Structure 1
Amino acid sequence: MLVLTGFADEISDRLEEQLDVLVSEGISYLELRSVYGKNVLELTDDELVRLKSALYKKGVRVSSIGSPIGKYPIQDPFTPELEKLKRASDIAKQLDARYIRVFSYYIPENEEPENYRGEVLSRMKMLTGKAEEEHLTLLMENESGVYGDTVERCLNILQHCDSPCLRLAFDPGNFVMNRVMPMREAYPQLSTYLEYVHIKDADQQSRMFVPAGEGDGEFPAFVKALKERSFSGFLSIEPHLHRAFPEQEGPERFKIAAQALKRLLLKEGLAWS
Structure 2
Amino acid sequence: MTAGTGTWALSGFGDEIDADPVVQLSVLQALGARHIEVRSAWNTNVVELSDEQLDTLAALVAGRQMAVSAVASPIGKVDAFGDPETELSRFRRAVRAAQRLGSRYIRLFSFYRPPGTAPADIRDTVLRQLRDYATVAEREHLVLLHENEKEIYGDIPDRVLDLIEAVGSPALRVAWDNANFVQVGVRPFTDGYSALRPYLEYLQVKDALAADGTVVPAGEGDGELLATVTALRDDGYAGFASLEPHLAVAGALGGFSGPAEFGRAARAFAKLTDAIGVRLA
Normalised by the size of structure 1, how large is the TM-score? 0.96
Residues 126, 262 of structure 1: CA spacing in aligned structure 2 closer, same or farther, 3 A cutoff? same
Identify which of 234, 258, 262 aligns with 2:240. Answer: 234
| Residues 66-118 of structure 1 deviation map (CA, whole Å, 9 limit, x = unaligned) | 11110100111101222122221122111110000010000012321111111
State the distance in 2 between where 1:121 and 1:249 align: 33
RMSD: 1.4
| Residues 167-206 of structure 1 deviation map (CA, whole Å, 9 limit, x = unaligned) | 0000000000000111100111111110001001000113
Which residue identity lines up with residue 234 of structure 1 in the other structure? F
Residue 200 (structure 1) aligned with residue 206 (structure 2): yes
Which residue identity lines up with residue 110 of structure 1 in the other structure? G
Q: Within 5 Å, give how 1:1-273 maps onto structure 2.
A: 1-242=7-248, 250-273=258-281
Residues 188, 249 of structure 1: CA spacing in aligned structure 2 closer, same or farther, 3 A cutoff? closer
Residue aligning to 2:253: none
Once the 2 structures are TM-superposed, how far is the Cα of residue 249 of structure 1 from its aligned partner? 6.2
Any stretches of 5+ residues in structure 1 without a counterpart? Answer: none
State the distance in 1 between where 2:137 and 2:203 align: 20
- SS of the residue aligned with 1:79? helix
- SS of the residue aligned with 1:55? helix
C-alpha contact (below 8 Å) 1:204/1:215 kept by paired residues = yes
State the distance in 2 between where 1:41 and 1:220 align: 34
Once the 2 structures are TM-superposed, how far is the Cα of residue 55 of structure 1 from its aligned partner? 1.2
C-alpha contact (below 8 Å) 1:11/1:254 kept by paired residues = yes
Which residue identity lines up with residue 117 of structure 2 in the other structure? E
Which residue identity lines up with residue 185 of structure 1 in the other structure? D
C-alpha contact (below 8 Å) 1:209/1:243 kept by paired residues = no
C-alpha contact (below 8 Å) 1:208/1:243 kept by paired residues = no
State the distance in 2 between where 1:154 and 1:97 align: 23
| Residues 40-73 of structure 1 deviation map (CA, whole Å, 9 limit, x = unaligned) | 1111111112111211222221000111110100
State the distance in 1 between where 2:52 and 2:122 align: 40
Aligned residues: 270
- SS of the residue aligned with 2:280? coil
- SS of the residue aligned with 1:269? coil
Percent sequence identity is 41
State the distance in 2 between where 1:56 and 1:143 align: 31
Which residue identity lines up with residue 70 of structure 1 in the other structure? G
State the distance in 2 between where 1:204 and 1:86 align: 36
Which residue identity lines up with residue 33 of structure 1 in the other structure? R
| Residues 96-142 of structure 1 deviation map (CA, whole Å, 9 limit, x = unaligned) | 10000010000012321111111111111111111111110000000
- SS of the residue aligned with 2:279? coil
Give every structure 1 segment of 4 or more consecutive aligned residues whose post-TM-superposition deviation is greater than 6 Å: none
Once the 2 structures are TM-superposed, how far is the Cα of residue 35 of structure 1 from its aligned partner? 0.1
State the distance in 1 between where 2:218 and 2:148 align: 17
Once the 2 structures are TM-superposed, how far is the Cα of residue 243 of structure 1 from its aligned partner? 6.1
